[in-house]
Structure 1
């Protein structure tokens, strides 16, 4: 043990301070495991476990994790924190009536079906075992993040029978306008976090584990399904998850950065970055154009601080990356190389990287074991033989060591150097921090080498001209710096380089003209004027602005309302020819839906600046979805007087079909075809009116009550 600690200290991977005293995870690398599927250290607590049944308990426990810590498994890989699944006593198994596992029982081996929030499930061990796990982890330089759930309990939970008023009813679900929060997830008893007595119960449960066990962090399950009103008090000073005392990462299963940012604004120190996950899954697993990755990063300005995000490439709720690659026809060595690319990306981008157990084996997994026979799910038992000798485990050792020793990768400024577009697959960005050597990360996401002679990467004097390059993970280089300080040479297929060199005059500045990797470089650098017009009649009096995301941080441009066409807004900007612009329109009215961003759930708009005076015309909210041909117009009144800034919207979930009233109470609401239920509501007074409508109508007035 003493030799292991000495080795870790030499790598800078073992902390010298009391781990439980800090809530900061910005410097950490997290290993996520399902306790029941990881290691069986005490067969006496198996209690009927059956590893041959995909949905039964398999025998993994706290003692198994302790054993692996003492062996140095996580430390040799270079991780600094462990995330374990929930420890609660689970409700009894339920019968499986369909699918490949029909006739078996479905147990709460995963930990998310709580029967008692204050007891440890005996399949995992005892409370004392859990405390020992945390102590041994701390003694070995590892933090512990414990998964928790406040949204729901398990099927048939006793509390749902003894205190049914604590849970949402079917009637409440059916009448709700926030079904994500007020309806059961997969039929599980859905708690009413808005009730004071429920809030107190849940707060006490979270505080119990934090104080009793001494964990360092919380992974909060299903955050978007719990009441929005719960979270501000949860993260408030002195609250159960006060960020000054405990770190929390929330699961918000949504790829929209604007929606994710809401939970950071509620006070959560971190959320899982499902936006970047989706982009990496779609772009890197199959190869080719990685534009989506660049698009997600270009929206980082919507977050209070994007470095607070926690990044990942797969987990227990989604298909493993290797299986995503296989679905796209990529197998064997090429799939492993793509897994290397994906991991290298999250280790060189902002956020705290999280790696799912089995990734070091390049394990496949098609999804939840409910839907697959034994051996094909994303929650198989961990196999340790040779696990530290695979290409991916060795790559993780290198990446973890580099991340731990390189401040610019953890906290440095991000600036795009080159983004893919068309039929090329290059993506390059810069990470820089004052006082630290600048880094340039360049990736070829294609299956053929790229000759950078056709597209010299302009690094704007990040490095000194002709300075020798170093690849920080030890890869042999086939690129170099020319006399202008730009990157030239051949970039191999499925390769990511992490480069540094003697700093140049522009080491800490953004590239002046980030390239757009078209099929051929050589496009003229002259500026071209682009004219933007958006039909925002649904957005009341606005004001509307253009929000551009392709520059590395959000840039906004005010728009002017067309005096001849009220509700139509215009602006013009000039950009270098062949620039790929990524943008959305926004409404600065504080009453606007979706925090003032158009197109909830829709991707960014995009256009390439090819021609002078090109006209770009759009309809607010409708980016990919077809523009409706049905329009409802009228007024919103209260006591016979027009109401400004009232919301008129299609009843139900947050949709694209909503409108704000103008000062004179008028509205312009696009609608889908067919009979629809429409709600008008004034946020300040809470006054509401509901009506049904079918087809386009004029003078359709609402009278708020």
Structure 2
């Protein structure tokens, strides 16, 4: 049994993603700020966090909540100043935390000086992707992620610019070496400031399908076809990342790198990005996040799924990485995904048990652990959204598109139900800190509503409570740091065929851990096909210290066992 114990700090790290607008407000503006993050660094350290990842804090018109950047070297004044950011980094480093920033370089804001020059036909015209009309229409039928066409017409030049996302987010032309040089300069600027690495937004979108061919028509009722594969994973993406490594990253060997890579569906597609830790250390793949989406459709089209499908995605991914010198990222929530409780379990009944089960399932896989703000207290989706409460451009565009298809005054409750289930605003509600007004997030009305359940589900209520979700997370993260096998141990799946139980082992030469997670709200019996060992962690306090192979599992039960191999 070969076990790779090649210790790296970034493999062992617990990374906590912060969405700054929704973390904590210290100014009374209703918007989270950098000083609010600084004020909670000790809380994060005590939770067991090693790294904080900041979603974009750059200057931005905020059409896509900061992922539309108008100046890569300036701080969004809504969040604070450059001095505030420098203080945050300095304070984090003093208490042993690293700071990772978002690198958003597939596109900029249309307000960026680069695009304004390009739009005017200046020296940076070729810094963006421009194409002439095709038969008087858009250059092809590619659909934008946020709806409509990927192309926007410029009336002055009569050409179209490409925007894979929102109209205000024109794509950079990575074929132009001047663009790449400008990106290397941005990276060096922040590394010199004290940034410890980057999460790279949609980094596999920087190379598109050559020739910009039409997507084959799957549904003639849709003018713009969705088709991820034409806009992601183009033939030059690994060349560009290798150049990034050669020009920047090799001179910062301790820098952290993770790439967001939609459309990378299998581990053999992913391995080129991460083999041996270069050019990236790990990627975010999406198949486990697409599991409840209809293939080829937007996220708002739901499908039912089975637990064996999740095993096939995550289990096979981790096993392939294990055998091919690759490393995975472990995430189930982020700023682009709704809360996981309703997707993988139930946020109405057995919520505490389900939140703990998902924590154990999440934190003991093979890879680097990413925790999203509020996940550690079991935050859930809002129970209901009105159109006036929506803030996310994707949700608003979806609502308006569906509304345009209907008669005036038609009922839109089904669309709001779709948004409640899967919309990104669910993850962007403020962190629930206390039982006080606005969940302790702000003294003013927040920019987006707080969760209706904040008085029952918040840090203040759970702090120090032995059986709370928060304290379960703290204990779990301590155990992860104390047990090398939970990071480096060899993974083996157990009972692939069960539609109720997700189980696996993590083994070193000294010990083996068995993870058992029930994904059902029924009480059931399950016979474990491997030796069990001693129970060391459970989400039910009545569990006995020793466990047999025939287990009675309560709703959303989770158990962690350990046995010596010496």
The normalised TM-score by structure 1 is 0.55
TM-aligned CA deviation for residue 404 of structure 1:
1.4
Aligned to 2:554: 492
Unaligned segments of structure 1, at least 5 residues: 1-21, 52-57, 93-106, 505-705
Work out whether residues 63 and 125 of structure 1, in 8 Å CA contact, stay in contact via their aligned partners in 2: yes
Work out whether residues 280 and 313 of structure 1, in 8 Å CA contact, stay in contact via their aligned partners in 2: no
Aligned to 2:360: 344
Q: Deviations over 1:43-94 (max 9, x none)?
A: 5xx5xxxx4xxxxxx2x2111111112xx2212322121110122221x4xx
TM-aligned CA deviation for residue 306 of structure 1:
7.3
**Equivalences for 1:75-224 in 2 at 5 Å?**
75-90=45-60, 92=61, 107-108=62-63, 110-162=65-117, 163-171=124-132, 174=139, 183-185=162-164, 186-187=166-167, 188-212=169-193, 214-224=194-204
Aligned to 1:439: 513
Q: Deviations over 1:408-458 (max 9, x none)?
A: 01111001222234xx512321101123x2111122222223324xx3523
Q: Distance in 1 between matches of 2:75 and 2:8?
A: 24
Q: Distance in 1 between matches of 2:352 and 2:366?
A: 23
**Equivalences for 1:79-478 in 2 at 5 Å?**
79-90=49-60, 92=61, 107-108=62-63, 110-162=65-117, 163-171=124-132, 174=139, 183-185=162-164, 186-187=166-167, 188-212=169-193, 214-227=194-207, 228=237, 229-236=239-246, 238-240=247-249, 244-254=253-263, 256-257=265-266, 258-265=268-275, 267-278=279-290, 289-296=306-313, 297-303=315-321, 308-324=327-343, 330-365=346-381, 369-370=392-393, 371=395, 377-385=426-434, 386-390=458-462, 391-421=468-498, 424-435=499-510, 437-452=511-526, 455-459=527-531, 469-471=535-537, 475-477=541-543
Considering Cα pairs closer than 8 Å and 6+ residues apart, tell me whether 1 or 2 has the greater RCO: 2
In 2 relative to 1, CA 428–82 (structure 1 residues): closer, same or farther, beyond 3 Å?
same
TM-aligned CA deviation for residue 473 of structure 1:
7.5
Q: Distance in 2 between matches of 1:335 and 1:118?
A: 42
Work out whether residues 270 and 308 of structure 1, in 8 Å CA contact, stay in contact via their aligned partners in 2: yes
Unaligned segments of structure 2, at least 5 residues: 1-6, 118-123, 151-160, 208-236, 295-301, 383-389, 397-415, 435-457, 463-467
Work out whether residues 221 and 250 of structure 1, in 8 Å CA contact, stay in contact via their aligned partners in 2: yes
In 2 relative to 1, CA 315–444 (structure 1 residues): closer, same or farther, beyond 3 Å?
same
Q: Deviations over 1:663-704 (max 9, x none)?
A: xxxxxxxxxxxxxxxxxxxxxxxxxxxxxxxxxxxxxxxxxx
Q: Which has the higher strand share?
A: 1
**Equivalences for 1:642-653 in 2 at 5 Å?**
none
Q: Distance in 2 between matches of 1:348 and 1:280?
A: 23
Work out whether residues 35 and 124 of structure 1, in 8 Å CA contact, stay in contact via their aligned partners in 2: yes
**In angstroms, what is the RMSD of aligned CA positions?**
3.5
Work out whether residues 58 and 74 of structure 2, in 8 Å CA contact, stay in contact via their aligned partners in 1: yes
3-state DSSP class of the match of 2:9? coil
Work out whether residues 288 and 446 of structure 1, in 8 Å CA contact, stay in contact via their aligned partners in 2: no
Among 15, 36, 43, the residue aligned to 1:30: 15
TM-aligned CA deviation for residue 190 of structure 1:
0.8
In 2 relative to 1, CA 426–345 (structure 1 residues): closer, same or farther, beyond 3 Å?
same
Q: Deviations over 1:506-555 (max 9, x none)?
A: xxxxxxxxxxxxxxxxxxxxxxxxxxxxxxxxxxxxxxxxxxxxxxxxxx
Q: Distance in 2 between matches of 1:411 and 1:473?
A: 24
Q: Deviations over 1:182-230 (max 9, x none)?
A: 9412221110112111111111011100112x12121110112112132
Q: Distance in 1 between matches of 2:303 and 2:379?
A: 17
Q: Distance in 1 between matches of 2:329 and 2:40?
A: 24
Q: Distance in 1 between matches of 2:305 and 2:140?
A: 45
3-state DSSP class of the match of 1:82? strand
Q: Distance in 1 between matches of 2:374 and 2:200?
A: 22
Q: Distance in 1 between matches of 2:8 and 2:90?
A: 17
TM-aligned CA deviation for residue 377 of structure 1:
3.5
Q: Distance in 2 between matches of 1:88 and 1:317?
A: 18
Deviates more, 1:388-397 or 1:398-407: 388-397
Q: Distance in 1 between matches of 2:253 and 2:356?
A: 35
In 2 relative to 1, CA 334–209 (structure 1 residues): closer, same or farther, beyond 3 Å?
same
Q: Distance in 2 between matches of 1:263 and 1:178?
A: 26
3-state DSSP class of the match of 1:114? coil
Q: Distance in 2 between matches of 1:126 and 1:241?
A: 30
Q: Distance in 1 between matches of 2:82 and 2:306?
A: 49
Q: Distance in 2 between matches of 1:306 and 1:287?
A: 34
Q: Distance in 1 between matches of 2:432 and 2:353?
A: 21
Deviates more, 1:78-87 or 1:163-172: 163-172
**Equivalences for 1:566-585 in 2 at 5 Å?**
none
Q: Distance in 2 between matches of 1:243 and 1:415?
A: 34
Aligned to 2:34: 62
Work out whether residues 340 and 380 of structure 2, in 8 Å CA contact, stay in contact via their aligned partners in 1: yes
In 2 relative to 1, CA 286–405 (structure 1 residues): closer, same or farther, beyond 3 Å?
farther
Q: Distance in 2 between matches of 1:368 and 1:272?
A: 25
3-state DSSP class of the match of 1:420? coil
Q: Deviations over 1:615-661 (max 9, x none)?
A: xxxxxxxxxxxxxxxxxxxxxxxxxxxxxxxxxxxxxxxxxxxxxxx
Work out whether residues 99 and 197 of structure 2, in 8 Å CA contact, stay in contact via their aligned partners in 1: yes
Q: Distance in 1 between matches of 2:70 and 2:94?
A: 32
